[in-house]
């Protein structure tokens, strides 16, 4: 007889969801968190980053004041210390809102938080740093990841996003190495506050996992805002600290170059928190930096499952919670559910914002005969009203079935817009059904209707007389039109 039916290790979105779902299914549950419940999401990732993005956005909005007849006596200046205080205040408010500790406690979950690392001593027992042991019949490992550091000389002078919350002033010059979601969001934030930002990337383009048009558009906009975007570099050589600045030596097309900046931020990956767990004692195999799981999120030890960032699959909050539900149900109910990430709307709060769901155009064309429409935000009445014409909505559909395969958006509320398309995709809407939706006016979401209706014309699902086509009226008979 074990102390608990299921022990969850890690108290982020995956761990908390797993604990609650396991309890909902009637199991006796313990959750173990080494630091504070809430994980990366609340304490170090989405929440504080989103607060900075909001502050950056407010800063940018002031640039539009005069266009709308609003005047500030002076241009706003950034009190970076107060901005950072606000991030910590909102983190606190998020904890107050969620009341995770008392909520978990009230529903009968045994909470071990602020206990340091949990370590396996045998397949059914973990040891806490204070010497207590906890036994579980089953385990769900939800230990997340941490920012990767690179082992070049002077690497200790580089920061990660986690160091941003405790900066003592706004750096005038910032180099950001890595142009995934975190690197690009930080770049946008620092640029809005007035820092001179340089982005460095080994890959040939930024935002490598996004649709190419998203990456190209964001890179162009970043450049327009005055950032330097250096892609395709060979690598970072070293950092030397001299004269109060960090000198970043990097190799670019075989040539060593130096960039002298106040702050260097690495955003180059997110390996799993494996080290402390002593997984060998539990018979759990790892695959490079993550726990190896099968389609059911089961590890090589049949009573141990994993969910969230530690599986190395989809490093997003919504995916962590989804995996947690699947892992717990498979662990407790033997449901053999496959964890699929068929539709994962996601994005970044850059300026401009971007979002995507489903296949990129390149991926879609590898598998399907596709039709693609790209409608500029400038076509939207709402974009004109709000003075935010930058962006586009790309919709990709299968010519045979007319099902939507992917949507990629740059511009205002891009993440919300792709979330709407995602709901349609999940419901199996064909493009002609999407085209007929009476989407509220004037909204940014209306761009989806414009793209869908362009496709139904291109695919000849609705009749258009040849004379009209000859007029090159590609956007068709639309109330909201550019010209």
Ligand X SMILES: Cc1cc2nc3c(=O)[nH]c(=O)nc-3n(C[C@H](O)[C@H](O)[C@H](O)COP(=O)(O)OP(=O)(O)OC[C@H]3O[C@@H](n4cnc5c(N)ncnc54)[C@H](O)[C@@H]3O)c2cc1C
The SS3 call for residue 349 is coil
Q: Which of residues 288-347 bind ligand X (CB under 6 A)?
A: 308-310, 315-318, 320
Residue 432 near residue 457 (C-beta atoms within 8 A): no
Q: Is there binding between residue 268 and ligand X (CB under 6 A)?
A: no
Q: Is there binding between residue 87 and ligand X (CB under 6 A)?
A: no
Among the listed ranges 12-20, 102-110, 215-223, 240-248, the one in contact with ligand X (CB under 6 A) is 12-20
Q: Is there binding between residue 177 and ligand X (CB under 6 A)?
A: no
Using CA atoms in the order 60, 66, 72, 76, what is the torsion angle rounded to 10 degrees?
20
Contact map string, positions 38 to 67, toward ligand X, x by CB under 6 A: -xxx---xx--x------------------
Residue 109 near residue 234 (C-beta atoms within 8 A): no
Among the listed ranges 9-17, 83-91, 239-247, 257-265, the one in contact with ligand X (CB under 6 A) is 9-17
Q: Is there binding between residue 411 and ligand X (CB under 6 A)?
A: no
Q: How far apart are the first and last CA of the chain?
A: 74
Exactly one of 6, 7, 14, 451 binds ligand X (CB under 6 A); that residue is: 14
* Helix, strand, coil distribution of the chain in percent, nearest 5: 35, 25, 40
Exactly one of 5, 8, 10, 397 binds ligand X (CB under 6 A); that residue is: 10
259 preceded by a cis bond (ω within 30 of 0): no
Exactly one of 5, 6, 8, 15 binds ligand X (CB under 6 A); that residue is: 15
- In the bound state with ligand X, the residue whose beta carbon lies nearer, of 320 and 375, is 320
- In the bound state with ligand X, the residue whose beta carbon lies nearer, of 38 and 411, is 38
Please state, in angstroms and rounded to a whole number, the distance separating the CA atoms of residues 463 and 449: 17
Residues 6+ apart with CB under 8 A from 340: none
* Enclosing H/E stretch for 134: strand 133-141
- In the bound state with ligand X, the residue whose beta carbon lies nearer, of 214 and 380, is 214
- In the bound state with ligand X, the residue whose beta carbon lies nearer, of 63 and 102, is 102
- Beta strands 263-266 and 286-287 are unpaired
Q: Is there binding between residue 357 and ligand X (CB under 6 A)?
A: no
- In the bound state with ligand X, the residue whose beta carbon lies nearer, of 177 and 431, is 177
Please state, in angstroms and rounded to a whole number, the distance separating the CA atoms of residues 483 and 476: 11
- In the bound state with ligand X, the residue whose beta carbon lies nearer, of 316 and 455, is 316
Q: Is there binding between residue 397 and ligand X (CB under 6 A)?
A: no
Q: Hey, which residues does 177 pair with through a beta bridge? A: 200, 266
Question: CA distances (Å), 453 to each of 44, 214, 423, 462, 480, in order?
Answer: 42, 21, 18, 9, 12
Exactly one of 12, 312, 391, 411 binds ligand X (CB under 6 A); that residue is: 12
Q: What are phi and psi of 354, to 5 degrees?
A: -135, 155
Q: Is there binding between residue 200 and ligand X (CB under 6 A)?
A: no
Contact map string, positions 135 to 154, toward ligand X, x by CB under 6 A: -------xxx----------
Smallest distance from the beta carbon of 479 to ligand X, in angstroms?
34
Residues in the chain: 483
Using CA atoms in the order 196, 200, 205, 207, what is the torsion angle rounded to 10 degrees?
-80
Residue ranges binding ligand X (CB under 6 A)? 9-15, 32-35, 39-41, 45-46, 49, 117-118, 142-144, 161, 182, 273, 276-277, 308-310, 315-318, 320
């Amino acid at each position: 007889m074990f102390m608990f039916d299921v022990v969850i290790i890690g108290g982020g979105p995956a761990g908390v969801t797993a604990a609650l779902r396991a309890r909902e299914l009637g199991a006796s549950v313990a959750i173990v968190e080494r630091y504070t419940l809430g994980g990366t999401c609340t304490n170090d990732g989405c929440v504080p980053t989103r607060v900075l993005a909001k502050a950056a956005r407010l800063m940018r909005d002031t640039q539009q004041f005069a266009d709308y007849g609003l005047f500030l006596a002076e241009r706003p200046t950034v009190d970076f210390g107060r901005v950072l205080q606000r991030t910590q205040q909102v983190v606190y408010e998020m904890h107050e809102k969620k009341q995770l500790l008392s909520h978990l406690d009230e529903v009968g979950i045994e909470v071990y938080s602020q206990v340091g690392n949990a370590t396996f001593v045998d397949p059914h027992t973990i040891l806490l740093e204070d010497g207590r042991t906890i036994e579980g019949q089953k385990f769900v490992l939800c230990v997340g990841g941490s920012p990767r550091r690179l082992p070049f000389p002077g690497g200790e002078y580089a920061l990660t996003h986690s160091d941003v919350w405790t900066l003592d002033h706004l750096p005038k010059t910032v180099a950001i190495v890595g142009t995934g979601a975190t690197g690009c969001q930080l770049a946008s934030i620092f640029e809005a506050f007035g820092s001179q930002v340089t982005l460095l990337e080994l890959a040939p383009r930024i935002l490598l996992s996004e649709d190419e048009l998203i990456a190209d558009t964001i890179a162009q906009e970043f450049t327009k805002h005055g950032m330097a975007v250096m892609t395709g570099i060979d690598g970072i050589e070293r950092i030397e600290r001299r004269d109060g600045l960090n000198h970043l030596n990097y190799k670019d097309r075989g040539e060593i170059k130096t960039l002298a900046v106040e702050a260097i931020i690495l955003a180059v990956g997110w390996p799993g928190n494996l080290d402390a767990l002593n997984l060998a004692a539990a018979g759990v195999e790892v695959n490079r930096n993550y726990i190896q799981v099968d389609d059911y999120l089961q590890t090589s030890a049949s009573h141990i499952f994993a969910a969230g960032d530690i599986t190395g699959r989809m490093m997003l909050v919504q995916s962590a919670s989804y995996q947690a539900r699947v892992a717990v149900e498979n662990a407790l109910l033997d449901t053999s559910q496959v964890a699929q990430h068929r539709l994962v709307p996601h994005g970044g709060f850059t300026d401009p914002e971007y979002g995507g769901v489903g296949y990129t155009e390149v991926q879609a064309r590898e598998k399907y005969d596709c039709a693609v429409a790209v409608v500029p935000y400038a076509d939207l009445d709402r974009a004109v009203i709000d003075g935010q014409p930058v962006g586009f909505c790309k919709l990709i559909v299968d010519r045979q079935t007319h099902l939507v395969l992917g949507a990629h958006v740059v511009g205002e509320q891009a993440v919300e817009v792709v979330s709407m398309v995602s709901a349609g995709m999940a419901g199996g809407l064909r493009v002609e059904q999407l085209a007929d939706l009476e989407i509220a006016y004037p909204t940014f979401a209306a761009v989806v209707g414009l793209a869908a209706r362009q496709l139904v014309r291109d695919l000849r699902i609705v009749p258009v007389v040849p004379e009209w086509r000859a007029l090159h009226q590609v956007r068709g008979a639309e109330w909201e039109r550019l010209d």
